Structure 1
Amino acid sequence: MFEDTLELAENKLLLLYIFKKIKFPISNNEITQIILENGFINYFILQQYLNELLSSNFIKRASCSNNHKLIITKKGLKVLLLFGNRISKNKIDIIDKYLDTKIKTIKKDLSINADYTMERKNNFIVNLKILENNSTLINIKLNVDSNKKAKSLCKKWKKDYLDLYYNIVELLMNN
């Protein structure tokens, strides 16, 4: 029974690790595919674990493009930080290798846009956007006072859009 409890905890931590590693909301189908392709957990137990992680507020649903996706919460990140060392190195290596090869496929439907226009002298409108399957995930318009700031924001968005998106969603959902 003790081994079953350890395995249950490790599997839930592994799920949290995957959500943290991906950094953006993913569908139940996507997380299921990752787990089943690596043979870690059977489908029915996986769905039970996801429901338990949701009810414990370690992950939450985020509405994106009129469908629900799952994302790790701050509480889930804290648990992972405290207990992540209980995930076997072998499983982490398998997931890391899998995600390194598949992350582009998982993200393939994302389109990242960052541009700006000058409205008036010293007034630039920066438009930062992420599209998924031609539906808007996020669209931010910012007013800045210099061409340099506008270029810098666009460059940062293109480079770090996943982290920025994740942080914005996390901030908005925590209140």
Structure 2
Amino acid sequence: MRACGLADKRGVPAGQATHVQDIVAEVERRGLRDVVLVGHSYSGIPVGQAAERIGDRLARVVFVDSSVPTDGESFVSAWPDGGAAVKASIAESGGFWPRAPAAHYDGQGLTDEQIARLVRGATPHPGATLTEPDDAEPDDDVAELLTSKRWQLVKMDTGHWPMFSQPRELARILLNAAEE
């Protein structure tokens, strides 16, 4: 399945609800069952919210170095400065978080070619998705899952972009999650 919400809506001032609806709509449009949703970085927030909405179609959710939705908190609220620098950057850039420069990816275990690919394919990120509070608290069933033994933590010795720095290892982890 494809990624939803950013590249296909380049320049659209979207909020989290847009990204959640993109995911839910794609699952429904394709009539998918036993869905494994994967959220990387910010996308853990809309993936976590979409998981509840697709209900019995969901098999598993995988968060890859990502945020997990927390009621009333924004993506950047847990950052050291409470997201002040990101919020300022968004305000200066017409409501979008600008694309990161190549130097941003240093120390992530990426080759120069991989960094160039990331920079080339990046799009400005709609600012509201990073600064607006997450949706309502998960219902009791989802909250129970978050604290259950069904959660499994898998650590990788890599940076924030394992799909580039360790694609085979990440693919193995995702396949294992899909088969469990």
Q: TM-score, normalised by structure 2?
A: 0.26
**Higher helix share goes to which structure?**
1
Q: Which has the higher contact order (CA 8 A, sep 6+)?
A: 2
The structure that is strand-richer by fraction is 1
- Between structure 1 and structure 2, the one with the greater Rg is 1
